[in-house]
Amino acid sequence: MSTESIRERVEEYVLHTYNRFPVDFVKGEGVYLYDAEGRKYLDFASGIGVNAIGYGNETYKAALKDQIDRLTHISNLYYNDPLADAAEKLVKATGLSKAFFTNSGTEAVEGALKAAKKYMKLKGRENAQQIIAMEHSFHGRSVGALSVTGNEPYRTPFLPLMPGAVFAEFNNLDSVKALVGDQTCAIILETLQGEGGIYPAEEDFIRGLRALCDEKDIVLILDEVQCGMGRTGSMFNYQKYGIAPDIVTCAKALGCGVPVGAFVLNEKLAEASLVAGDHGSTYGGNPLVCRAVSTVFDVYEEEHILENVNKLAPVLEAGLDKIAAESPKVLKRRGMGFMQGLVLAPEVKVSEVVAACLAEGLVVISAEGNVLRMLPPLVINEQHIDEMLTKITKVLA
């Protein structure tokens, strides 16, 4: 079936909430995608940070095929082995206490907000309903997650949203302190903003937030849906700062392709927040997605994924810095590890650069602030970085 035919059917039957590029991907191998005409593309978007182990990993494929033959779904009314395995590995990786599996990052944020609110109620602080979030943040599209997303174009069409959300300036601790009061329930932020323009958190800011939350008994929620699972060289980005959240949310690379997310609570929140009947999910944590999660952790260990990111991140950053220094169309590079962005000059439209890269056989995406965003699979090698740099240089020229 032709790409044009597929495009027409999608436009006819699927609600138009995405402006899709005119390409029909049908296969992936390693770090490459192939369209219906057999054309090859170097993937530096990885399904918006999902496909961390690339395409066609044999260990991952074998595990999912085996699980499909065994059992895909039973509901959370019963125990299952993959759930136990995935939860144990996730809890140990985060250094926290208890995990709850969801179907997406958005649902993970919703669960984290509910846990924070319940914690305050159990503490006798029922009036503590304020959530402090960050400007330019992104936490999801549902009403609760959208309420703490600091991007007005996303929020405005759906006002009024959940009450009590206020916004501070990212990396400005004083702006957060100015909002804190007896009514404050939680502070939520990405440790590396993705959709908002690839802004890493500064160490003093993160450490200051942790100290502030400890002092005031405020719940610190770190959203690592995009920047977690090894993307910056540690399993979770907050581990680079030597702190731990009260709750962390994760998804995307957690399952490397199956729809799964999770929020993980520390011991304090696990012991005094959600109890039986407070939260649930029909599909969350079913045997199929949990087998995927468990296998992803195995692949990371067996294939030394974190070591690869730490080894090649300086190479990637140096190449992008060179482009930023030499091209008048690029103002600067921002990012950490394998989560990088090139800030383009105002006269350059990032959407046109993304389209031109696609025409050159390179898949990249954009972020707020005219940023060209790169989220490659964590299994790329130096040759792939060189290929990407060559293609972007050509496009910008």
Structure confidence by residue, pLDDT tens digits, 126-164: 999 999 999 999 999 999 999 999 999 999 999 999 999
Q: What is the pLDDT of residues 235-266, one digit of tens each?
A: 999 999 999 999 999 999 999 999 999 999 99
Q: Count of residues for the chain?
A: 397
pLDDT over 90 percentage in the chain: 98
Q: What is the pLDDT of residues 297-348, one digit of tens each?
A: 999 999 999 999 999 999 999 999 999 999 999 999 999 999 999 999 999 9
* d(C-alpha 138, C-alpha 48), whole Å: 13
Q: Which helix (H) or strand (E) holds 82?
A: helix 81-94
* d(C-alpha 15, C-alpha 4), whole Å: 18
Residue ranges of domains in the chain, CATH in brackets: 3-53+304-396 (3.90.1150.10), 59-302 (3.40.640.10)
Confirm whether pTM is higher than 0.95: yes
User: Residue for token digits 């009947």?
Assistant: 277
**Per-position b or e across 130-157, b if 16+ CB within 10 A of its CB:** bbbbbebbbbbebebbbbbbbbeeebee
User: Do 233 and 240 meet the contact criterion of CB atoms below 8 Å apart?
Assistant: yes
User: Do 266 and 97 meet the contact criterion of CB atoms below 8 Å apart?
Assistant: yes
Q: What is the pLDDT of residue 3?
A: 80
